Amino acid sequence: MKAWIAAACCGLSLQTAAFDLQGHRGARALAPENTLPGFAVALSIGVTTLETDLAVSQDGVLVISHDPALNPDITRGPDGQFLGQTGPVIWRTNYTDLRQYDVGRLKAGSRYAAQYPEQVAHDGARIPRLQDLFDLVQRSGNRDVRLALEIKTRPDAPNETPAPGPFAAKVVDAVRAAGLAERTTILSFDWRALQAVQRAAPDIGTVYLSIQQRNFDNIGAGRATGSAWTAGFAHADHLSVPKMVHAAGGRIWSAFHLDLNAAVIKEAKALGLTVLAWTVNEPARMAEVMDMGVDGIVTDRPDLLRIEMQRRGLPLPLPTPVRAN
């Protein structure tokens, strides 16, 4: 335990002491994403870290949502019907109005619902505030579980969210007010936000997210001009993502799992980086990336990752059942 505390105080990830089992958006494959029932399910299963996404309402409330605007595949209006199209932008909507929406069920027949056939609905679940998650963790009595809070800003959509600096400052203030700085990391694809966190709160760990896929690439390898996502740290100047993260002052790198291989993980570790893989849901792939040497996995199926961890003789995080409300 002392080793864990020392690591946390230095802004390092828990993986320095144990494999990091991160419940993605709570436990998205089993319960509605980014809801208190979903986080309660993850805590009941037993995770090292609760991973989630943040937005800011028009009246300045930090709320939990992956999407900047309400997603019609998971959102029902006050009339009980699923939205027919993308809903209001959170940054343009007061929190009291956001509370009118139900996010406790997937829309039947949608492509999104087809991905998670085992998700159990929790009708009546509302978009929670970050403070509601803090309160849930406190009620659970779990003194070890960590929080991975993602700042959702986009250089290509600056009007949908606060600017990265003010957004980061608001998150840092909330984490410190809750007394959770030692148990929190802040992550983002938009490295401008992480640079702001590092300047304002060097005691809070930052996690550099990356993806290099056709549908989304925040790294921009091969672009002479670099990427708007990486705060001026261009791939052309460093020639690898681990070196970019290291140059940015990062200690933790979380990469899309299909971008990882044993060689790049070895390179990252030689630079002193902790390496996470996201989002891995299939047991065979969990085993593959663990064999490559990752320090943790972000997953919608924490129950399945626990089985693989147990098979390898790794210590399992303690389940702490808690009611969502």
Does some domain include residue 320? Answer: no
Predicted local confidence at residue 230, as pLDDT: 98
Q: How far apart, in Å, are the Cα atoms of 125 and each of 70, 99, 253?
A: 14, 9, 32
Does some domain include residue 34? Answer: yes
CB of 35 within 8 A of CB of 71?
A: no
Does some domain include residue 45? Answer: yes
Does some domain include residue 238? Answer: yes
Give the confidence band of 15 by pLDDT, cuts at 50, 70, 90.
very low
What percent of the chain shows pLDDT beyond 70?
Answer: 95
Q: Tell me how many domains the chain contains.
A: 1
Give the confidence band of 17 by pLDDT, cuts at 50, 70, 90.
low
pLDDT average, residue stretch 183-192: 98
Does some domain include residue 119? Answer: no
Predicted local confidence at residue 225, as pLDDT: 84
Does some domain include residue 82? Answer: no
Q: How far apart, in Å, are the Cα atoms of 48 and each of 44, 110, 162, 178, 183?
A: 12, 31, 30, 19, 10
pLDDT average, residue stretch 225-235: 95
pLDDT average, residue stretch 208-232: 95
Does some domain include residue 112? Answer: no
Predicted local confidence at residue 8, as pLDDT: 36
pLDDT average, residue stretch 27-53: 98
- Give the mean pLDDT of the chain: 94
For the domain that residue 307 is a member of, what is the CATH number?
3.20.20.190
pLDDT average, residue stretch 301-320: 98
Give the confidence band of 224 by pLDDT, cuts at 50, 70, 90.
confident
For 39, the domain range is 2-71+127-311
Does some domain include residue 294? Answer: yes
